[in-house]
Structure 1
Amino acid sequence: MTDARRVRRVAAHEAARCIEELADVLIDCVAGGASVSFMWPLPRERAVAFWRAVADGVERGERALLIAEDSAGRIDGTVQLVLAQPDNQPHRADVAKMLVHRRARRRGVAQQLMAAADAVAREEGKTVLVLDTVTGGDAERLYARAGWQRVGDVPDYALMPDGSLCGTTFYYKHL
């Protein structure tokens, strides 16, 4: 089931206006147990500070920020492309913080976000994408369906929001 939704790249001049809604999405995902670099409880100030730094990166052209909006214009999901890479990797981008609010899950939002990320990466001249995700998590199926290649796992790589250890699986995709 796919709802009426618009996925788009956020322009540099509007990224700061999305911070509060993006903070809501991040807090919801961490509350739901997503291992996305934050621990629970996640103070709102910490979430807002994170998105402020992302907006600054968008402004500098270092990141592309994509959002999924429902028919009312509410942000239900987001993903980023880290475009700024070392001099010897100008053809590569990292996919980061693929987040979908729990109210919008199982509706194709993540799939739409990943397809849009591929399109933006191509527009930016990127030919190799990389990402990592929790080993054994739901996202692994999404990435496999979207043509990502599994590289391998690192056990005990990170912590879940509750403090328990989790493995991380790395993926790449050629565009």
Structure 2
Amino acid sequence: MNQTIEELTMIESHLRELSELLISVVNDGASIGFLSPLAHSAAMNYWQNALDQNIILLVSKMDNRIVGTVQIHLCTKQNGKNRAEIAKMMVHPQFRQKGIGRRLMQKAEERAKKEGRTLLVLDTVEGAPSNHLYTSLGFVQGGRIPDYAASPFGELEATIIYYKQI
């Protein structure tokens, strides 16, 4: 399979595909801000409003199908122009363990550097497989917050805050 990573600046032509990806990962248990089962209308609404001038969306495609995404949220505060937050890093359940998440994160770091960012931050649910990915990429655990957010199935879970100086 041929994998490419590209930056999307418009969502409209990818709306259905992005919505299906979001539904798949949430219904599979990914804790990315939504509860399962995720309605198609809620996924569509999210993506219709996902981009603005301070959000960079990278997508991973396998054989021209979107199988993963990551967002770079550029901090706009006067005292935070050096940092960005990594958000909504997701890989379709059928395409995990193929290095897609790693490549997305590497591209996100490169893209953040192009924007002059020197610090990346992110959070993820404690115990999720993504914790291994982030630490293997050099992210450092900055802290743990108990009962931070509900899992896709409604149970409160702790989150781990990570950072990386780039």
Normalised by the size of structure 2, how large is the TM-score?
0.96
Q: Is the 8 A contact 2:31 2:125 kept in 1?
A: yes
After superposition, residues 18-167 of structure 1 pair within 5 angstroms as: 18-55=14-51, 57=52, 61-71=53-63, 73-167=64-158
Task: Tell me how far 1:162 sits from its aligned partner.
Answer: 0.9
Q: Is the 8 A contact 1:35 1:134 kept in 2?
A: yes
Moved over 6 A (4+): none
Task: Tell me how far 1:92 sits from its aligned partner.
Answer: 0.6
| 1: CA distance, partners of 2:142 / 2:75 | 22
Task: Tell me how far 1:16 sits from its aligned partner.
Answer: 2.5
Amino acid aligned to 1:150 = Q
What number of residue pairs does the alignment pair up?
166
Q: Is the 8 A contact 1:23 1:48 kept in 2?
A: yes
Task: Tell me how far 1:132 sits from its aligned partner.
Answer: 0.1
Task: Tell me how far 1:17 sits from its aligned partner.
Answer: 1.8
RMSD: 1.0
Task: Tell me how far 1:8 sits from its aligned partner.
Answer: 1.6
Q: Pick from 2, 6, 15: which aligns with 1:8? A: 6
Gapped regions of structure 2 (runs ≥ 5): none
Deviations 1:62-97 (A, max 9, x none): 1000000002x1000000000142111011100000
| 1: CA distance, partners of 2:163 / 2:55 | 18
Task: Tell me how far 1:163 sits from its aligned partner.
Answer: 0.6
Deviations 1:18-71 (A, max 9, x none): 22111111100111011111011111111111111113x1xxx21000000002
